[in-house]
Amino acid sequence: MAALHAALDAIEADPGVRAVILTGAGHRAFSAGADIHAFAPIIARGEAMQGFVRPGQALTARIEAFPKPVICAVNGLAYGGGCEVLEAAPLAVAAAHATFAKPEIKLGFPPPFGGTQRLARLIGRKRALAMILSGAPIAADEALALGLVNRVVAPDALLDAAMAMAAGIIAHAPAAVAASLAAVTRGLNLSIAEGLAVEAAAFGSLLHTADLREGIAAFRERRPPQFSGR
């Protein structure tokens, strides 16, 4: 978790990096979740909140609010904390063999990295509770049908599909991408009136930018726009 935070710090500060693809090594797992053998002593010492829950929630919150698009390329198991990272990310592509699960209930606790909150917002209360209370895995095609991922592709096409998704996003103005990400994420938990105010503020923040002027000029002149950061 600390290494991911450090990587995100560096990426956020680097204007040359416009999108993030998060994937696992090899083909078995995107993330199989917490190392329970390492977690057990933390529980025994009474340090679970400060040593496990709060750092995990901070990481998923950082991914959810990140100003550059984070695309999960799910190359295998996305279990426990790995599934919660996926839920926090705005976009995801999955390999056809990927599986998704919330197995924490089998260990005697609820999902602690935001999974009880984000999953229900993503797929609905009853579907979320079916996953959380059973701990049973679901396949990639069901995850697609539920809205957990955007696409399912063959395993050897996974990173190419994620790169293509990123390329389609970074063709647009960086500030407009960041404003869209922030407005959608912030508005999810607000009333429609409050969400519309967030949307209006996001639009207003771009009114005097060179990229907005360029986008409108390019449309009127029937040419590709030349946005900053490209």
Would you say the C-alpha torsion 165, 168, 171, 177 has a positive or negative sign?
Answer: negative
Q: What is the DSSP letter of 31?
A: E
Enumerate the active-site residues.
Answer: 84, 104
How many whole angstroms separate alpha carbon 139 and alpha carbon 103? Answer: 14
Query: Which of 50, 94, 89, 48 shows the shortest CA–CA distance to 75?
Result: 94
How many whole angstroms separate alpha carbon 44 and alpha carbon 36? Answer: 12
- Centre a 10 Å sphere on the Cβ of residue 35 and count the other Cβ atoms it contains: 9
Residue 52 tokens read as 């496990």
Angle between helices 158-170 and 174-187 (to 10 degrees): 100
- Centre a 10 Å sphere on the Cβ of residue 26 and count the other Cβ atoms it contains: 8
